[in-house]
Amino acid sequence: MKTCEISGECRPNEDQIKRLKEIMESLPNDDQFEGYTGKLKALSDSTRLKILYLLSNDELCVCEIISALDKPQSSISHHLNILKNLGFIKGRKDGIWIHYSLISPKIAVLVKELIKLLE
């Protein structure tokens, strides 16, 4: 990393300031960052990650998710609502049950890649 070139001061030089401005202009706006933060927070829960893994293979009925994760229906519904509201999954009603699937298969791929990077 370059060090500041102005002797005696802890400030970037003109080239560094120009580069930083360019970087800042290319960043998403604050509202977009808030949205990203919410989605990343949702992925920080192990139950929600497991649900995304389960759905990476195919659509599942909520009863199957409850059975696979051995958690109460209320807990699973809570996690499913979070994932649905943030745009990770979608639901399809079939009688009294709802079948869930990923909005896009890319979600599972990206989540798995992110986890590999963290290992």
Q: What is the pLDDT of residues 70-93, one digit of tens each?
A: 999 999 999 999 999 999 999 999
Which of 107, 93, 88, 102 is CA-nearest to residue 62? 93
Which pLDDT tens digit goes with each residue over 54-65? 999 899 999 999
Domain assignment of residue 22, given as a range: 10-42
Number of domains composing the chain: 2
Q: Is residue 4 part of a domain?
A: no
Q: Are residues 63 and 87 in the same domain?
A: yes
Measured distance CA(105)–CA(89) in Å, rounded:
10
* Global pTM value: 0.77
pLDDT value of residue 5: 56
Tell whether 104 and 50 lie within a shared domain: yes
| pLDDT score recorded for residue 8 | 58
Q: Is residue 74 part of a domain?
A: yes
Confidence of residue 3 (pLDDT cuts 50, 70, 90): low
Q: What is Dmax (Cα atoms) for the chain?
A: 73
Q: Are residues 37 and 89 in the same domain?
A: no
Same domain, 34 and 55: no
35 with 57, same domain?
Answer: no
* pLDDT computed for residue 9 by the predictor: 65
